[in-house]
Amino acid sequence: MVLAWDEAHLWAQTAPVTVWSPIGQTPTLQVAPQRDRVVFYGALDLRTGQEHALMTEKMNQLTTVTFVEYLLARYPDHPILLIGDRASWHKGKPLQALLDAHPRLQVFYLPPACPELNPQEHVWAAVRRLVIRAASFAHLASTFLLTLRQTTFRPLLFDRYAPPILSFLSA
């Protein structure tokens, strides 16, 4: 299996807005005093377009290992190649220990500062366009996760780059 993986934050914070109102009637806007946040780990199966996603509170090496273990469980009988960026939480002793324990798991790092090469980045953008409003932050986060899990994605770069990559990897 060839999976493009990445993480994304979802924030709830008040943004400046402009509203129309009748002269002399100042509108009342609700403002949330807190800045809620969740993290999504995602991996796009480059052959099927299926998205694997987890919602967490933190983004660190240990949470990354938890997500990779989730992927290993999803594909128990297949070798896995993870394609992703060079984030510090994609490296380090916890992930290296997992790689050592599972020789069927390999990681390929994309060049630095090239998020457009990671198909998972295009998934985040697509889901953000689909999920823009919700009654509460919790509803927004759960809708974001549900959309990730129920949508088949074919990012723009998939058609251009995936066939050569997949043919190279299967050789």
81 within a domain of the structure (yes/no)? yes
3-state helix, strand, coil in the chain (%, to 5): 40, 20, 35
22 within a domain of the structure (yes/no)? no
pTM above threshold 0.85 = no
**Does the pLDDT of residue 168 top 50, yes or no?**
no
Return the H-helix or E-strand segment holding 141: helix 137-150
| Partners of residue 52 on adjacent β-strands | 43
Q: What is the pLDDT of residue 100?
A: 97
**Does the pLDDT of residue 124 top 70, yes or no?**
yes
Percent of the chain with pLDDT over 90: 51
Alpha-carbon distance of 101 to 8, in angstroms, equals 27
Domain that includes residue 130, residue range: 2-8+35-170
25 within a domain of the structure (yes/no)? no
| Domains: count for the chain | 1
* Residue type at 34 in one-letter notation: Q
Q: Which CATH number covers residue 133?
A: 3.30.420.10
72 within a domain of the structure (yes/no)? yes
Q: Which pLDDT band holds residue 14 (cuts at 50, 70, 90)?
A: low
51 within a domain of the structure (yes/no)? yes
Percent of the chain with pLDDT over 70: 80
125 within a domain of the structure (yes/no)? yes
108 within a domain of the structure (yes/no)? yes
